[in-house]
């Protein structure tokens, strides 16, 4: 299962780890704010913006290999603190 690490404060960076998968897949990331996808937030890291304050963040990882894909979503963080 993916996991989020980093300081949960606006201006800081969170990292989404892909978790453990078999067969060395290619990973795609999608950050979520309060469960909804954030447009353009598709890197494994996210610098927390002012709009993230008070929100619960999670990340979804899609692993693709040999034409097959699977998706897993991290647990939500605690509320993001204002800077």
- The answer to whether residues 70 and 54 touch, using CB atoms and an 8 Å cutoff, is no
Strand order in the sheet with 57-65: 36-37, 26-33, 57-65, 68-73
Confidence band of 67 (pLDDT split at 50, 70, 90): confident
Residue 23 pLDDT > 90, yes or no?
no
pLDDT band for position 19 (50/70/90)?
confident
74 in Cβ contact with 16 (< 8 Å) = yes
For residues 31-42, give the mean pLDDT.
98
What structural domains and CATH numbers belong to the chain?
Answer: 3-73 (2.60.40.2700)
43-70: average pLDDT: 96
As a whole number of angstroms, the distance between CA 44 and CA 61 comes to 9
């Amino acid at each position: 299962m993916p996991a989020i690490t980093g300081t949960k404060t606006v201006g800081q960076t969170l990292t989404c780890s892909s978790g453990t998968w078999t067969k060395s897949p290619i990973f795609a990331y999608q950050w979520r704010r309060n469960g909804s996808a954030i447009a353009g937030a598709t890197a494994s890291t996210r610098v927390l913006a002012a709009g993230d304050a008070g929100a619960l963040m999670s990340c979804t990882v899609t692993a693709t290999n040999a034409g097959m894909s699977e998706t897993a979503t991290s647990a939500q963080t605690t509320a993001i603190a204002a800077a």
